[in-house]
Amino acid sequence: MYIIPKDFYMLWIKLGFGFDADMGDRSYWRCEFLYGWRTETKIESVARDMEAMYSTYDVKTKPGYGFTIKTCIGIKL
């Protein structure tokens, strides 16, 4: 089995909110809060199938999920 970069591809679905706060005439502060879920990669599904062949219990992969927090300071031109 050869590992190629597309075997690590996954789809993230993210929901959240963000806001901009004015910091004067020429600058602002931006902040985002996101929560996301991801799909299983090909590598994870192959590893699950290989483990299931040699085990006596039900093998499952856990879904990926997590928070993303972004913050920055911007300058108005």
Annotate the chain with three-state secondary structure: CCCCHHHHCCCEEEEEEEEEEECCCCEEEEEEEEEEEECCCHHHHHHHHHHHHHCCCCCCCCCEEEEEEEEEEEECC
Number of domains in the chain: 1
Residues 3-14 pLDDT 10s: 777 777 888 999
Q: How far apart are CA 15 and CA 67, in angstroms?
A: 10
53: its two tokens: 């062949």
Range of the domain at 54: 5-75
pTM exceeding 0.85 = no
> Of 55 and 1, which is predicted with more confidence?
55
Residues 22-60 pLDDT 10s: 998 899 999 999 999 998 888 888 888 888 888 888 887
Q: Give the residue-averaged pLDDT of 52-70.
A: 86
